[in-house]
Structure formats: C-alpha cells, structure tokens
Structure 1
Amino acid sequence: MGDVSSYEHTVILFAAFGSLFTGYSAAIIVATVGQPSWYRSLNLESDTTAPGYSHTTTIIGAANGVFFAGGTLGCILGGWLGDKLGRVNGFRVAATVGIIGAAIQTGAANQAMYLVGRVITGLAAGQTMVAMPTYFSEVSPPKSRGLMAGAHGSGINVGYAIAGWVGFGCFFESTSSFGWRFPNAVLALWGLCLLAGSFFVPESPRWLVSKGQDEKALKILCKLHHDPADVEDQFAHRELRFIKSQLEVDLTLITQHGQWQLFTMPTYRRRSILGFVLMMGGQNIGVLVINNYNTLLYESLGLSNMQALVVGAAYNTWAAFANMGGATVSDRLGRRKALLIGYAGCVVMFIIATGLIAKFSQNSSRTYAAAAVTFLFLYVFFYGAFIDVNQYIVATEIFPTHLRSQGSSYSLAAFFLTDVLWVDLAATAQATIGWKYYLVFLSLGIVHLIHLWFKLPETSGLALEEIDTLFGKDQIATADEELGDKAVTIEEEHDP
C-alpha cells in the first residue's frame, strides 16, 4: 500500500486547489505592491523619498496585517466547521468566503475597501490552511502520508509562484488598474475551482466514523486504498477497525476528561505545544517576510521594479519545485530528520545572505547583490524541500481523530498570529533599520532548531492512531484488547 492509487491522485488534484488558494491569496500582495497603478488607484504615494510614503508603508503593513489577522480567526473557525459540518462542507464554506473576499479586493475603490477585502480573503485562507492538511492526512495511507499531505505545502508554493508570474505579466499594463485588479481577480478563480472540486472528493472516512457512518466510511476507504493485489480490500477493513477502536477509546476520554482535554491532558497538551511552536518556527525563521516583501527587498538590492518582479516570481517557482521534490522524499527521509536539516540549512544560508545584504548597504556592489539573491534562493530551497512540506503534516498527524481539527486549527493559527507581528512590522523595519531586521529571524531560527532537536519525535510511517504512543498514550493494541469481541464484530460485519 505504499503507492498512491489513481483515485487518490484525483482526490489530491481537486483538494489541492484549496492549498493553491491559500498560497495565492497570501502572495498576491507581493505583485500588487509592485504595480504602479495600485498606488494611483488607492491614492497612495509610490515614491519612497516623498513625505507621504510613510502612510503608504502603513497601508502596506496593514494590508498584510489584516490578512493574517483574518487568517488567525479563519484557522479557529475552520477547525470548528470541519468538526461540525464535515471536512468537505468546510471546503465549500471557505471557497464561498474566498470568492466574496476576492471580489471585494478586486473591485476596491479606496484603501478601506481594499483592506476589508484582505480581511475576508484572510478568513478564507485560514480556513483552507487548516482544512487541507487535516483532510490530506485523514485520506492517506501511512506509507504515503508524507507525499499526499505534503501536497498542501506544494500547493501553497504553486500559489505563490503563479501569483508572481501573473503579477509580472500584468506589470506591462501599468496605464490602467487592470495591472493590479486582474491578478486579484484570479484569486476568485481558485475559489471557484475549490468549490467545484469539493463535489468530486469523498468525505474523510475518519470523520464519517466519528459520526457513526461506518458503512460509508468503509466504501471510501476501499476506493481510496484499493490495491489489485488485495482483491478483498483487507487493508481497508483493517484500517476501519483500527480507526473505530481508537475512536471509541478517545470518546471515552472525552467523557472522563471533558471537551478541554486538548489542554488538560498531558499527552494532548504536549502535542498542542509542539504543533503551536512548530508552526511559529516556520514563520520565525523569516520566510514570509522575504516572500511578502521580496519586491521591496530586491529593489533595495538595486534591481528595477520589473527586475524585482521577475526575480520574485522565479524565487517562488524555485520554492515550489523544491517543495514538490521534498514531498516525494518525506516518507523515506522522515519528518524529524527533514525538519532538522531544513532549519539548519535555512539558518546557515540566511546568515550568509544577511551578511551580503549588509555589505551591499555599504558599497552598493552588484556582486554582493547577486550573491545575496543566490543565497536567498538556497535558503528557500531548504525551507521548501524540508520545512514547508513537513510542518503541516506534523501539525495535523500528531492529534487523534476526535481532536485533529481542533488541535491543528490552534497550531496553524500560530502561523497567522506570528505573521501578524512580522509582516506588519516589515515595511517599517526595512525602511528604517534595513538588513538588521533579519538578525531577529536568525536568532529565532537557532532557538527553534534546538527545540525541535529535543522535542520532535519521528512520526513518518505510522498509522495516525499509532502516533499516540509517541506521546505517552496507550497503544492501539491495548485499545483492541479492551474492546475485545466488539472489535471482532466490527471486522465480521464489514468483511466481504
């Protein structure tokens, strides 16, 4: 069962539109602030030397800040919707909200309207940020969960890359607002694709079991994990029994420990802290500040506006390929080793890049600028191939089924909460202290590397229910023994 079936490929393809929406919605601000017509449309000063530019930096910071503030709320809402309405219905709500936000953002007639659109698209992005990795992990077999759940990070990076190239293509239409409105309108297209795709993907079998719909869950498991060598779908039947027996134990714990066991029980509290800090780390290392302000960063290195857009688009395309490559080796390399390699590589590359940027600020040598850009590309390779792929997988797979939506929503909210701080400060920080701003991320990257070294267990290759043992919870075998004849009855009821 290590290979991914053709049906699983189809599920990944349709569901990945949600990940693409997440990435594109976050990245489109990069192309937007690189378009001269955006400043004219919203009555903003585009000249960095003009007195009114301080207001412009405030609006750019706010456009990022309100997006991620909306994303934080969207993460929490997405977790709740995923539990109440189901994973697929959660997609539909997120897609609808995203289409509305994209329409407002595209048609913005003033600064306030644009910021309102950014809040709403952020809300949708937060929902998809939680919904997609949760769904991918729940429909994946253990041996290929890294590849399938890694599609979330890959989709986000593809969204960034597409946003970069669409923005570059529209740069040449700088005489009208089409140059910035069309790239924002494309966001609605991804929302429509996600909405349409939600009618072609199955509900999560684990969510169905939690609602007592075992027969429907079994049919989906058989279809998802069918193998010609397993004509009676024994793997699917065994997985259903595994899911159901673990869920019964978990529901017993809800009765004993209440709805807040995510924070009151040591085994779940450890997971919550790990997930929260892991997602904070992915942003504390500075990647989104570079992504969301790379046009301004490259301009500060002496590139023209058009050159900055090209390099920014190439940067995100390179990251997308790195991410896809990382997804293919995630299961073989293992989550722990990949994340440690990623953090170590990012810290080293960022140290060198920051030093080169500092040198450039002193003598404006194009040699230093070219070298700095090269090491930033190496930096994002380590991030895309080793961190971005695996952080979403770990942040969802460490939680049990009955707490997965809730736990992953809190963990992924850390992603947006952290970015509210960093991207809101970035425009002002880069305008005032320049390269010294990056020293903060270097220090935090080292701290997170040390934390993961001591606290991150290896989760690859294990069934979701088996991961409990890594956090001090009883093995599933114990649960099967406690259920005894009940587990056997489940097997007999569903055997062909």
Structure 2
Amino acid sequence: METYTWFNVIAVLFASFGSLFCGYTLSVIIATLGQPTWYSSLHLETDPTSPDYGWTNTVISCANGLFFAGGFFGALFTGLISAKLGRIRVFQIGAVIGIVGGAIQTGAISAAMYLVARVITGFAMGMIFAAVPVWTGEVAPPRLRGVMAGMHGCFVNVGYFASNWVGSFGWRFPQAVIIIWATLLLGGTLIIPESPRWLVAKGRDNEALQVLHRLHDHQDLSDAQNSFAQQELALIRQQIAADQKQLHEGGRWQIFTQKTYRKRLILACMTTVGSQNTGILVINNYNALLYQSLGLSTSHALLVGAGYNTWAMLANFLGAFISDRFGRRKLLLIGFISNVSMFVVATGLLGKYSYVPTSGWAAAALTFLFLYVFCHGTFIDPNVWVVAAEVFPSHLRADGTAISIALVTAADILWLQLAPTAASTIGWKYYLVFIALGIVHIIYFWFKLPETSGLALEDIDVLFGKEPASREQDSLDSLEGEKKIGISTAEV
C-alpha cells in the first residue's frame, strides 16, 4: 500500500492541461504581434508614420489589457461557483468558454472581433488558473503536495514554451491550438475525480472514500490495510464539519472580517502578486523587444526568447521536484533573494549597455537575465500557487485562491500597460520598481511566511493560531511514514 497511485499522477497530469491552456493563451499574443499577416488580416496599419498607426497601438495594448481584465473576472467567478458546483465543473465550464474564445480568436476578421475573443479566452484562463491549484492541492497527499500542485506552474511555462515554438506558423494556427488545450482539459474531466474534500462538504462521504482509495491506496476497498484513506477521510470529515459551522456563523465575508482568515488572504495575495512584482511577466512578454534593444536581429531575438522560455520551463520542473524536500518557506526566501540579486546585476548591465552599447555588455546582461529566470522558475513559480491554495481552510479555499489570482491579473494589467510607455521614456530604470518591490516581499516573507510543506491541509490551521478540528494528523504522519514512497501498481 502506497500514499499515491498511478491514477493520482495521471489525474494531476490531465488537470495540467488547464495550466498549459493558461500559459499558452496568455503568451500566444507575443508571437502573434510579430506576424505581418495578423496586421493585414485585422486591417491594422503597420507604418508608424501613418495617422492610423495610433489605432494599431491601441489594439495591441487592448489585446493584453482586455485579456487580463477577463482573467480578473474569470478568477472571481470561480470563487463564486466552485463551492456550489464543484472543482471539476469549473474545469468543464472554463474549457467550454476557452473553446468558444479560441474559435473566435482563430477566425477573427477584424480588430474588434479579435479583442472580444481575447476577453473570452481571458475569462476562461482566469477560471481555470484559479481552479487548478485548489483541486490539485486537495487531491495530493501531504508529503507530495509540493510536486503535484507545483505542476501548475510547470505547465503554465510549458504553455509559454509551446507558444514560442508554434508562433512561427503564421498567426491563425497558433490561435487554433488554444482549442486543442481546452479540448484536452474537457476530455480529461471524464477521468479526473472530484475533490474528496468538496464531496465530504456535500455529504457524499462514500464517494470521497472511493476517490481517496483510488488516489492514495490500493483499489481493494475491503483490504484492512487501507487505513491511510480511512484516516484521511476521518480528518477531512471532522475539519469540514468545523469549517461549515464557521461558515454558517460567519458567512463568506469572514475571510475579510476574522483575523486568522485575513492573515491568510494577505499572505496568499502577497505570495501570488509577489511573483509578478519581480518583473517576470514584463520580461517574458517583451523579451523580443528587449533583446532587439541589445543589438540582436529580429530572428535572433525570437530564437533567444524561445530559448529563454525553454530554460524557464526546465527550471520550473526542477523547482517542483524539490519543493517537498526543502519546504516552501525556504525555497521562496531563497528564490526572492536570488531573483532580486540577479535582477539588480542585470538591470545594472542594461543601464551600462545604454551608455556603452558593446556586445560584451549585451552578453553579460543576457547571462544574468537567464540566471534571473532560473531563480524565479526553480524557487518561486512552482511554490507560489501551492501556498496560495493550501493556506486556506476548505470552506474558504476557492474564495481565497480566486481573490489572490484575480489580484495577479490586476497586477499584470498594471505592469504590462505601463511597460511600453516606460520603455520609451525611462528605459531600464523601469526595472528598479521591481527590485524595490522584491525587497519588500523578502522582508514580508521573512517574518510572515510559515512552513506548510508536509502538513495535511486540515492541519495548517494551527500555523495561523487556530486549532484544527482533529489531531488525526499524527496518525496520518505515522501511517505515511511507515510506507515506502512509490507508485502503486493499482489499475487506473
């Protein structure tokens, strides 16, 4: 008997198509803007001296801004419906909306049509982005929650990677690939089980036990040794009962009104928004322009950009696999300190190049930008989404995660909308803002971020001054400690 099975692994991988969808839809615009046929198909002027060029800039700006605006409302919508309809239903609704948005985006014949599609796909992205870490955290065993939930950040980067390499095939085909990822997620919901914690909250304990057995034990429910799932269900049941009592007494607004929950919301938001306050999305979305400013040709800039995102993807997978071994707190602190340090050097080198534009300074700046994204991918990206979901109790997990993800999209709108103007006015000095914010987050995490790895979700309450409903975690720990970590040969 093991603490996870092949079914658990496969279910997480199918859910990761949602993460891939998010990363791909977010980044496909980067390559699209480099395709001349996109401008001609949408009747956009490409001559900077033309009076109509202002409309082109407006469309480009809105293509990013409206996408993230849709993501903001999509994330909040997930918070509203997830507790009522279930995590899997959110996947299904988000996937269907993504298919519709992807189809309109692919067939767009005008700028207005394309922008409407970006709102729709952005809404789907926000829904799925907020749902995946919640579901993954709730189906992963405590000691492997970091690597399993960390797959969300990994596959977001796989989406970036895919959009970079697919982006050279015209502009309509890359938009159509959005439909593929959404369809794979929708098909995956036929395999992915509902969250056992949501099932218990709805009084469906027998279904929850069956799911826990499939995820964390052998299939034979009559096997007396299947005690891990039984103990897990007992812990979940007791905590859900306490949580629902709290929800009945305090309502959903207690996430803002009660100190213990407000602390968690602030921590989740500081963690998720902090990942964007490092400047990572600005570098990612405008990396081709940045590399061209360092003297690279358009083709070389696109190639380096693709290599940059491939490097980031590999770093994310490394980070996910070390998350449970070293812990979220340690890795996030190492990540933010090293990330800010690399960015300080890279920014200084970019500033030096602006005065002394030689290939040596350009190469040095590129080197530290690659080190910067390695630190972000290894230590920050796989862990922020795990922390954002696991710090909340079951009855507030969907709401809290949705709010923290919605604020991420708001931060993305702010930084991406400012970036073009900042690049043309203050240039490399814009990055000083992210360095300052990174230092703020380091100080906050040093004093406020607890270690959550290895704990059952129901046992994290004690870290925020609230006793859990049951002390069954000791039993879970002893059971899990007796088992050799591995993958069961149980049938899927």
Q: Which TM-score applies when normalising by structure 2?
A: 0.92
Asked if residue 253 in structure 1 is aligned to residue 246 in structure 2, the reply is yes
- 1:212 is matched by which residue type in structure 2? G
Task: Between 457-466 and 469-478, report the one with greater CA deviation.
Answer: 469-478
Task: Between 59-68 and 399-408, report the one with greater CA deviation.
Answer: 59-68
Q: Tell me by how many angstroms 1:40 deviates.
A: 2.5
Partner Cα distance (2:3, 2:370) in 1:
32
Partner Cα distance (1:130, 1:88) in 2:
12
Asked if residue 307 in structure 1 is aligned to residue 296 in structure 2, the reply is no
1:364 to 353, 357, 366: 357
Aligned residue in 2 for 1:151: 151
- 1:379 is matched by which residue type in structure 2? Y
Aligned residue in 2 for 1:74: 74
Aligned residue in 1 for 2:309: 316
Deviations 1:395-439 (A, max 9, x none): 000001111111110111111010111111212221232211111
**Contact in 1 for aligned 2:32/2:167 (Cα 8 Å):** yes
Partner Cα distance (2:291, 2:122) in 1:
26
Partner Cα distance (1:479, 1:406) in 2:
26
2:446 to 453, 460, 463: 453
Partner Cα distance (2:468, 2:205) in 1:
22
Partner Cα distance (1:282, 1:332) in 2:
21
Q: Tell me by how many angstroms 1:80 deviates.
A: 2.0
Aligned residue in 1 for 2:190: 199
Task: Between 304-313 and 376-385, report the one with greater CA deviation.
Answer: 304-313
Instruction: Map residues 191-230 of structure 1 onto 2, 5 A cutoff.
Output: 191-226=182-217
Partner Cα distance (1:159, 1:477) in 2:
40
Partner Cα distance (2:33, 2:25) in 1:
14
- 2:281 is matched by which residue type in structure 1? L
**Alpha-carbon spacing, 1:45–1:311, altered in 2? closer, same or farther (3 Å):** farther
Aligned residue in 1 for 2:403: 410
- 2:63 is matched by which residue type in structure 1? A
Q: Tell me by how many angstroms 1:256 deviates.
A: 2.1
1:239 to 232, 242, 249: 232
Partner Cα distance (1:354, 1:162) in 2:
28
Partner Cα distance (2:404, 2:254) in 1:
15
Partner Cα distance (1:103, 1:314) in 2:
29
Partner Cα distance (2:291, 2:390) in 1:
37
Q: Which runs of 5+ in 1 are unaligned?
A: 171-178, 481-496
Aligned residue in 2 for 1:378: 371
Partner Cα distance (1:25, 1:167) in 2:
12
**Contact in 2 for aligned 1:16/1:155 (Cα 8 Å):** yes
**Alpha-carbon spacing, 1:47–1:231, altered in 2? closer, same or farther (3 Å):** farther
Partner Cα distance (1:232, 1:479) in 2:
17
**Contact in 1 for aligned 2:3/2:217 (Cα 8 Å):** no
Aligned residue in 1 for 2:42: 42
Deviations 1:207-254 (A, max 9, x none): 000000000000000010015998631000000000000111111112
Aligned residue in 1 for 2:329: 336
**Alpha-carbon spacing, 1:464–1:452, altered in 2? closer, same or farther (3 Å):** same
Deviations 1:174-233 (A, max 9, x none): xxxxx1111111111101111111111111100000000000000000010015998631
**Alpha-carbon spacing, 1:439–1:51, altered in 2? closer, same or farther (3 Å):** farther
Identity of aligned residues (%): 54
Q: Which TM-score applies when normalising by structure 1?
A: 0.91
Task: Between 270-279 and 365-374, report the one with greater CA deviation.
Answer: 365-374
Partner Cα distance (1:280, 1:402) in 2:
23
Partner Cα distance (1:162, 1:475) in 2:
43
Q: Tell me by how many angstroms 1:49 deviates.
A: 7.1
Aligned residue in 2 for 1:63: 63
Secondary structure in structure 2 of the residue aligned to 1:133: helix
Task: Between 222-231 and 378-387, report the one with greater CA deviation.
Answer: 222-231
1:438 to 410, 431, 435: 431
Asked if residue 350 in structure 1 is aligned to residue 338 in structure 2, the reply is no
Q: Tell me by how many angstroms 1:48 deviates.
A: 5.9
**Contact in 1 for aligned 2:3/2:141 (Cα 8 Å):** no
Q: Which runs of 5+ in 2 are unaligned?
A: 474-492
Task: Between 197-206 and 223-232, report the one with greater CA deviation.
Answer: 223-232
Q: Tell me by how many angstroms 1:15 deviates.
A: 0.8
**Alpha-carbon spacing, 1:104–1:37, altered in 2? closer, same or farther (3 Å):** same
Instruction: Map residues 424-435 of structure 1 onto 2, 5 A cutoff.
Output: 424-435=417-428
Partner Cα distance (2:352, 2:151) in 1:
38
Deviations 1:298-352 (A, max 9, x none): 1222222222221111111111110001000100110001111111111111111
Deviations 1:145-169 (A, max 9, x none): 001000100110000001011113x
Secondary structure in structure 2 of the residue aligned to 1:476: coil
Partner Cα distance (2:102, 2:281) in 1:
21
Secondary structure in structure 2 of the residue aligned to 1:101: helix
Aligned residue in 2 for 1:189: 180
**Contact in 2 for aligned 1:12/1:136 (Cα 8 Å):** yes
Aligned residue in 2 for 1:17: 17
- 2:72 is matched by which residue type in structure 1? T
Partner Cα distance (1:431, 1:36) in 2:
23
Aligned residue in 2 for 1:492: none
**Contact in 2 for aligned 1:281/1:445 (Cα 8 Å):** yes
- 1:72 is matched by which residue type in structure 2? F
**Contact in 2 for aligned 1:60/1:427 (Cα 8 Å):** no
Q: CA RMSD in A?
A: 1.9
**Contact in 1 for aligned 2:20/2:159 (Cα 8 Å):** yes
Deviations 1:28-56 (A, max 9, x none): 01111122222232333445677765543
**Contact in 2 for aligned 1:61/1:425 (Cα 8 Å):** no
Secondary structure in structure 2 of the residue aligned to 1:308: helix
Deviations 1:378-399 (A, max 9, x none): 1111111111100000000000
**Alpha-carbon spacing, 1:90–1:228, altered in 2? closer, same or farther (3 Å):** closer
Q: Tell me by how many angstroms 1:362 deviates.
A: 2.1
Aligned residue in 2 for 1:273: 266
**Alpha-carbon spacing, 1:53–1:435, altered in 2? closer, same or farther (3 Å):** farther
- 2:202 is matched by which residue type in structure 1? K
Instruction: Map residues 112-127 of structure 1 onto 2, 5 A cutoff.
Output: 112-127=112-127
Aligned residue in 1 for 2:478: none
Q: Tell me by how many angstroms 1:58 deviates.
A: 3.1
2:255 to 256, 262, 266: 262
**Contact in 2 for aligned 1:61/1:426 (Cα 8 Å):** no
Partner Cα distance (2:198, 2:83) in 1:
8
